Amino acid sequence: MKRKGMTSHVPMFLLSVSVLTFAAVMAFGANPDETNLKAQFNRAGMLYDQKQFQKARDIYEEIVRSDVNDPAVLYNLGNACARTGDVGAAVLYYTRAMRLLPRDRDVRENLARIQPSINRPNTFFLLKPFAWLKNSASLNEWTILTSLFFFLTGTILAFYMLARGVPRRRLMTTLTIAFAVILLFSGVFLSIKAYEELVIRTSIVMKPETLARSGPGEQFEELYKFPAGTKVRIISDPQGGWVRIRLMDGRSAYLPLTDIRSVNPY
């Protein structure tokens, strides 16, 4: 389980912006908080390499509690949790990292290796290409792409309005239709991605052999035992410290709030 650096998630098309930002920081002085977080991150990495996984985990968790949502920190924290045998926490942080780095091979493979098989959805085979395309970009990336194609579609449409002559108008019409179709698909994927990550309340079962019951309380019938790392969706408001959840396969039950943690850090 190799570690990552804190800047490994920066997209290439934002590299120039990052360079300018770095130059400004160097010119006016680094933020003390950022410098401290970087030092903590490096310290945790040294402890991890020395196989002091619990100490490394403690530092990574402290960084996360500072409202840092960096995929490298989340990935490394997932590694440290896995090394300490905490499957639920490892799945939680790998899942958070995957939302920010959906194409990262290390994150994807480590998550697939450690999460329980119950988390694998049964997607209809005709929908698998669309699911793969949707999951190939993060929510931020789909937002940027949709905004870009919206701008391009509007620009091409403006050129069409100003174009003179049949050949130019035909070209502008073709381009407008093409970009509009791409914008439509991009907007659909963005909407689905936003719904999945911002509306659906996804949580991870943190404890092994967690009991799910038929109602909100220990007096209700035991239905299932969930392994640590099971992904669930909360479908009700809390009732006395319990919530109703739904599994990827459609089954529902009640779990205590103390046994699960939300994937959304906000």
User: How far apart are the C-alpha atoms of 266 and 263, rounded to whole Å?
Assistant: 9
Place of tokens 């410290």: 241
Place of tokens 């997932």: 78
* Residues 45-61, mean pLDDT to the nearest whole number: 94
Q: Which residues contact 49 (CB under 8 A, 6 or more apart)?
A: 3
User: Could you tell me the pLDDT band of residue 32, with boundaries at 50, 70 and 90?
Assistant: low
CATH architecture for residues 201-262: Roll (2.30)
User: How far apart are the C-alpha atoms of 169 and 175, rounded to whole Å?
Assistant: 10
Cβ of 122: how many Cβ atoms within 10 Å? 8
Residue type, 42: N
- Determine contact, residues 69/190, Cβ cutoff 8 Å: no
Burial string for 45-55 (b: 16+ CB within 10 Å, else e) reads: bebbeeeebeb
77 vs 264, residue with greater confidence: 77
- Determine contact, residues 84/108, Cβ cutoff 8 Å: no
Q: Which residues contact 265 (CB under 8 A, 6 or more apart)?
A: 64, 69, 96
User: How far apart are the C-alpha atoms of 155 and 142, rounded to whole Å?
Assistant: 20
Residue 28 has pLDDT above 50, yes or no: no
Domain boundaries of the chain, sorted by first residue: 12-115, 125-199, 201-262
**209-222 pLDDT, tens digit each:** 899 999 999 999 99
- The third-level CATH classification (topology) of the domain covering 12-115 is 1.25.40
* Residues 166-195, mean pLDDT to the nearest whole number: 90
Sign of CA dihedral 234, 105, 140, 135: negative
Sign of CA dihedral 39, 43, 48, 52: negative
What angle do helix axes 32-49 and 53-65 make, rounded to 10 degrees? Answer: 160
User: How far apart are the C-alpha atoms of 65 and 68, rounded to whole Å?
Assistant: 7
| Chain centre to alpha carbon of residue 135 | 10
Phi, psi of 242 (to 5 degrees): -120, 155
**What 8-state DSSP symbol labels residue 229?**
T
- Determine contact, residues 201/262, Cβ cutoff 8 Å: yes
pLDDT of residue 253: 94
**93-134 pLDDT, tens digit each:** 999 999 999 999 999 999 999 999 888 777 777 778 888 889
Instruction: Give the chain's end-to-end CA distance (angstroms, integer).
Output: 27
pLDDT of residue 14: 32
